[in-house]
Amino acid sequence: MDDPLTPRPRAADVNVATKFPSADDAWRALRAAACAPYRSAGHFAWHFARGKLRIDPVFRHLLREGLIPPDSRVLDIGCGQGLLASLLAESERLAREGAWPAAWGSPPRGVRVTGIERMPRDVERARRALGNRATFVCGDMRELPFPAADVVVLLDVLHYIPIAEQDRVLGRIRALLPERGRLLLRVGDAAARVGFATSQWVDRIVTRVRGHRVSPTFCRPLPIWVRRLKDFGFDVEARPMSSGTPFANVLLVARATAAGGPR
């Protein structure tokens, strides 16, 4: 039986049987559409969305690889101003118009997104931009109950809380995911010296620019991350996720196994 959470193999990143001449053009159009709602959320929100979606490779990767399957319930923890939710909403529109790149994984149609975010200012921006196209809950991931989900996304978030608390959050995520449910976790690899130091430095600047207080961070080397996720009952694949940036970020694509539970 086909695993609905496993992306189908893809050809080269070309061959868009659509109104766009190439997958790059489709991505640019999608990016612009996902940024547009942030005009109503203020100057900063719009410019931040444009910069982030242009520079950060992870968003295109998630869509191109079909890592968010159709009809899934997505929980985006530490969602910031809701950029992923905006991209997913616009992806659905692109697919409806028959403009989804043929070489990409299945478009994320019918996806429902809940975002959890600690910073009220970001939640306000997300709600103003996206209205009822996604649900945003303001609070701390360590305290809020998590809704049922098939895919849990944490992009550059866990390092803001101490290691033992990270593990408690991971345990709760594993407990809520169905077998074969997916965790998409991006982390900095603390073993990659220069790239990791650069990302820490930029993280502090961006945190300040976004109007937040800079706090200590808690990071682990990649092999430790992989081992820990396996302990929690995930199959794990690590994908470098910093191309075009000086960072040492890795996307951990983790699938809940039948074994379950922390060991």
Ligand X SMILES: C[S@@+](CC[C@H](N)C(=O)[O-])C[C@H]1O[C@@H](n2cnc3c(N)ncnc32)[C@H](O)[C@@H]1O
Chain positions contacting ligand X, by CB under 6 A: 52, 78-80, 83, 116-119, 122, 140-142, 155-157, 160-161
Asked if residues 222 and 249 have their Cβ atoms less than 8 Å apart, the reply is no
Residues 137, 87: Cα–Cα separation, whole Å: 18
How many whole angstroms separate alpha carbon 45 and alpha carbon 125? 7
Which residue, 104 or 136, is less far from ligand X as judged by CB?
136
CA-wise closest residue to 249 among 210, 219, 227: 219
CB of 118 to ligand X, least distance (A): 4
Query: Residue 217, exposed/middle/buried by CB under 10 A (0-12, 13-18, 19+)?
Result: middle
As measured in angstroms, the least distance from the Cβ of 2 to ligand X is 30
Q: Which is nearer to ligand X, 140 or 235 (CB)?
A: 140
CB of 50 to ligand X, least distance (A): 13
Closest-approach residue to ligand X (CB): 78
Smallest distance, ligand X to C-beta of residue 215, A: 9
d(C-alpha 27, C-alpha 20), whole Å: 9
Q: Minimum Å distance from CB 77 to ligand X? A: 6
Is 102 or 202 the residue whose CB approaches ligand X more closely? 202
Closer by beta carbon to ligand X, 157 or else 177 = 157
Nearer to ligand X, 18 or 115 (CB): 115
Give CA torsion, residues 48, 84, 95, 69, to 10 deg.
160
